[in-house]
Amino acid sequence: MIEGSPTRKRVSLGVTYSLLVLGVMIVTVPFWYMVATSLKPQAFVFEIPPRLWPSPATIGNYIEALTKESFSLYFLNSLIVASVATALTVGVSAMMAYAFARLEFPGKEVVFYSLLLGMMIPPVMLIIPQFIVAKNLNLLNSLTGLIVVYISMNLSVQTFLLRGFFEGIPRSLEEAALIDGAGRWTIFRRVALPLVRPGLAVVAIFTFLYAWDEFPWANVAIKETSKRTLPIGIALFQSAHLTEWGQVFAASIVAIVPVIIVFAVFQRYFIRGDVSSGMKG
Amino acid sequence: MRSISFSAEASDTGPVLGTRGAQGRSRSSSRSTSKKRRRVPPKQRLKQLKQGSIAAAFLLPGIVLFTTFVLGPLLFSFRISFYDWNIIKSENSIWVGLENYARALGDPIFRRAVLNTAAYTLVTVPAQIVLGLAVAVLLNQAIRGKSVFRVLYYLPVITPWVIVSLIFEFIFLGQGGLANYFLRDILHVTDQNIRWLADPILTFVPIFLLGIWKGVGWTAIIALAGLQAIPREFHEASAVDGASAWARFRHITLPLMRPTLVFLTVVLTIGGFNAYISNLLITNGGDPLDKTHFILTLMYDASFTKLDFGYGAAISYLLMFFVLLMSIVQIQLLRRRVEL
């Protein structure tokens, strides 16, 4: 790494690459196998020896999954839920974070601590009372019921993250606007928000992926077929059609595509978000 | 973990809040920015009051949501755990005191679930940390294609749990699964198919492997950030002194990485005890014979299959108690030996 003869250096670099590539193979083989299976006709799914390269290959599973099995509806539901939950989480948590970072009010720390409590609660343990609350508010079996819970579950961590971002911007910019007679809301919207855009991006990405992935709450809150999101749709399809793995994986791949797009476009934010807030995917 | 140390610092500003005192201001800002400034003392109460109402407007939507769907449910669940809760008519619920808790602690299925969850955590957390650290060390060198590697290692992290659980279930199918083919026809370690998913012990092989496989990428990225924060001169100086690569790793990297490792251990342990989806999908929630539950699949089963909400709530509070206790113990144990 630092010292050593050129040959030794080359050997150690070779070892590094081999180990990294080996690791990548272990990481990607399951994905590869999923793609291969999604392209196999049903009769070939369990063939021995299993092929990592489908032959014959077909896109029949994709057509079947997207037309007959209403996965496109689940996809749409997931897209609506994840987008709305993301937009609202960004807005609501930015407002809270700004208040904590810049405004003085009685009981500030008490409120902030209660909010932090939300970061330490295992999410699944809230499902029982959330179910009862949602039932009383008529939010079961509705996308709104998913959205409000997803926002709430993300508020703690995202507000905490954004408070740091808001505190990082120099006060002088806001003070100049204050002297010019701008109100707090205007300052928040026009001065502060644009300056924390990287933070907002991190919040948006994590909330979107969370909402796209979320299974436990949707699983108890949604019983109506037409309101299912993708994780529920895929899991239930699999338990109803135990052998039709080709279709299960075709639907899964369709569900992964948005995740990969988001990740590829924003990967530098991912790393920053992880490190600054310690969230786990 | 970071949040804990952060809030401890923030508490310093507690007593001076709302007074806009110059002292409080300089203290609170010294944490985030280096700028320290003296401000004009408050002019009038009126202005304070006005700021309070502005703050309320900023906080209102968030507070309403948080109280309704997080804080309220948290307290509500505590109450439910003392009742034989009636989901149809809650007025008809019967107060049972600590009976739900006593029942859980005496229930062999619950104890088995705790053991299973503990085993999962004990295996997957060290494995993720060791492998993640190894990947981070490899990536922390002058190599090409670093970002490609990073993306590929991160792929399992961002893929939904439902999907990766199904992939692993498929690979470990007794008939026609890739794992059996590999073990029987390529490695020849067995001459017949292993029925992974029908056995109360073997079914944990795919679940454990999945937990490790999905988490290594995240652990590696966090560890990489920790490694990059170590000044290069430390390594260079000791290399000049003739220290081997292993000695440098052992005596420089590891001690300096301790805060990162503490953080990883605590967060991964919490995650381990909250494992849920993989078990639910791969074992169908406890099959065979309720021997393969994790704490949360048992909670789910008690509440939403058996509609025994009081028992489910008691289980979830026991889980939270375990998790808090463990986090505190880990932080204490691992912090103690921070020297340097």
Residues B68 and B184 in one domain: no
How high is the pLDDT of residue B147? 82
Question: Position A32: which residue type?
Answer: W
Question: Position A151: which residue type?
Answer: I
Residues B82 and B166 in one domain: no
Find the CATH number of the domain harbouring B150.
Answer: 1.10.3720.10
B135 within 8 A of B220, measured Cβ to Cβ: yes
Selection from A103, A121, A111 nearest residue A160 by Cα: A111
Average pLDDT over residues A117-123: 80
B6, B13, B37, B59: best mutation site toward chain A, by most A Cβ within 10 Å?
B59
A29, A104, A245: best mutation site toward chain B, by most B Cβ within 10 Å?
A104
Residues B83 and B149 in one domain: no
From A231's Cα to the closest Cα of chain B, the distance in A is 6
Which numeric CATH code is attached to A69-277?
A: 1.10.3720.10
Cα separations (Å) of A65 from A73, A233, A255? 11, 11, 12
How high is the pLDDT of residue A67? 84
Q: Which of B32, B296, B320 sits opposite A164 (nearest CB)?
A: B32
The residues pairing with B95 across neighbouring beta strands, listed in sequence order, are B83
Residues B248 and B122 in one domain: yes
The string of pLDDT tens digits covering residues A198-228 is: 889 889 988 999 999 999 999 999 999 999 9
Average pLDDT over residues A152-167: 92
B292 within 8 A of B116, measured Cβ to Cβ: yes
> Do the chains contact at A274 and B170, CB–CB below 8 Å?
no
Question: Position A49: which residue type?
Answer: P
pLDDT in tens, chain B (340 residues): 333 333 333 333 333 333 333 333 334 444 444 444 445 455 666 777 777 888 999 999 999 999 999 999 999 999 999 998 887 777 788 888 899 999 999 999 999 999 999 999 999 999 999 999 999 999 988 888 888 898 899 899 999 999 999 999 999 988 888 898 889 888 888 888 888 888 889 999 999 999 999 999 999 988 998 898 888 888 788 878 887 888 888 888 888 888 888 889 988 998 999 899 999 999 987 778 888 999 999 999 998 888 899 999 999 999 988 888 888 888 787 766 544 4
Q: Which residue of chain B is at minimal alpha-carbon distance from A242?
A: B170
Residues B116 and B77 in one domain: no
Give residue A37's pLDDT band: very low, low, confident or very high (50, 70, 90).
Answer: very high
Residues B42 and B120 in one domain: no
Distinct helix (H) and strand (E) counts, chain B: 17, 2
How high is the pLDDT of residue A5? 66
Average pLDDT over residues A9-18: 86
A22 in B contact zone (CB under 8 Å) = no
In chain A, residues under CATH classification 1.10.3720.10 are: 69-277
Q: What is the pTM of this model?
A: 0.84
B154 within 8 A of A263, measured Cβ to Cβ: yes
